[in-house]
Amino acid sequence: MDITSFYESQEMMIAIHYEALKMMLDDVGVQDPEGNCFYYHQTTTEFPQLVIKRANLLYYARGTKKVCEIGLNAGHSAILFQLAASPTAQFTYFDLCEHVYAEHAFAYLQRQFPHATLRLEKGDSRITIPRHIALNPDEKGTYDLVHVDGGHTYPCFISDVECGMQLAKVGGIVVIDDTQVDFISDWIKQAAAEGRVEVLEHQLQTIGYMHMIVRRLK
């Protein structure tokens, strides 16, 4: 099944969960969530072209057993990964949790996917992820998929992506968000030139809030 067909097969469940997340945002009084794979930035207005991004995320998470998300936000990409992954998969989320809805989103995921193992580490990812790796060295090189979508300053991105590369297994998938930012796309080009990653050829080309999906080579 190709990327588009796989997304269409899950579209009804995605719509149900996304409506629930919108209700959660309404309940906590938030009308301006940060950018995600469904809405325009700081709105709850759908960005139609982001269906391409959602299709990629869902497809490349198929059957995964261990997933790390750097940046949980309101849980929109997390829903896609949960739906596509093994029902008993392990998920580790790193999020600053400066927005009240992040913890509400985590609680929603816990309720909706009771057979999965979910863990949320709150705080600045430049501190929490290196600390997590130092305290859990056996976690290195074990994740099937790592989604890098945390802070987008240069120091934060470099810390997140390099830690994400440590967590991803060789042959694992690393999704790098907001590649319309020059220093993010430059990192991918450099990593590919060094033979650290390969850009996956069959991903759909995203529009707007762009991402790139790579495979860790070493």
Strands 197-199 and 211-216: antiparallel
| Whole-number Å distance between alpha carbons of 27 and 36 | 19
Q: From residue 195, how far is each of 4, 38, 191, 216 by CA, in Å?
A: 29, 33, 6, 9
Query: Which pLDDT score, from 0 to 100, does residue 35 have?
Result: 85
Compute the average pLDDT of residues 64-88. Answer: 98
pLDDT of residue 102 exceeding 90: yes
**DSSP 8-state secondary structure symbol assigned to residue 74:** T
CATH code where residue 187 lies: 3.40.50.150
Compute the average pLDDT of residues 201-218. Answer: 96
Compute the average pLDDT of residues 80-104. Answer: 97
Q: What is the mean pLDDT of the chain?
A: 97
Which pair of tokens denotes residue 151? 């802070």
End-to-end CA distance of the chain: 29
- Binned at pLDDT 50, 70 and 90, residue 152 comes out as confident
Tally the domains of the chain.
Answer: 1
| Whole-number Å distance between alpha carbons of 19 and 160 | 30
| Whole-number Å distance between alpha carbons of 215 and 169 | 9
Whole-structure pTM over 0.95, yes or no?
yes
Query: Which pLDDT score, from 0 to 100, does residue 81 have?
Result: 98
Compute the average pLDDT of residues 155-170. Answer: 98
Condensed to tens digits (0 to 9), the pLDDT of residues 33-42 reads: 998 999 999 9
pLDDT of residue 134 exceeding 90: yes
For residue 19, give its domain range: 3-216
Check if the beta carbon of residue 21 is closer than 8 Å to that of residue 76. Answer: yes
Compute the average pLDDT of residues 165-187. Answer: 98
Query: Which pLDDT score, from 0 to 100, does residue 103 have?
Result: 97
Condensed to tens digits (0 to 9), the pLDDT of residues 7-30 reads: 999 999 999 999 999 999 999 999
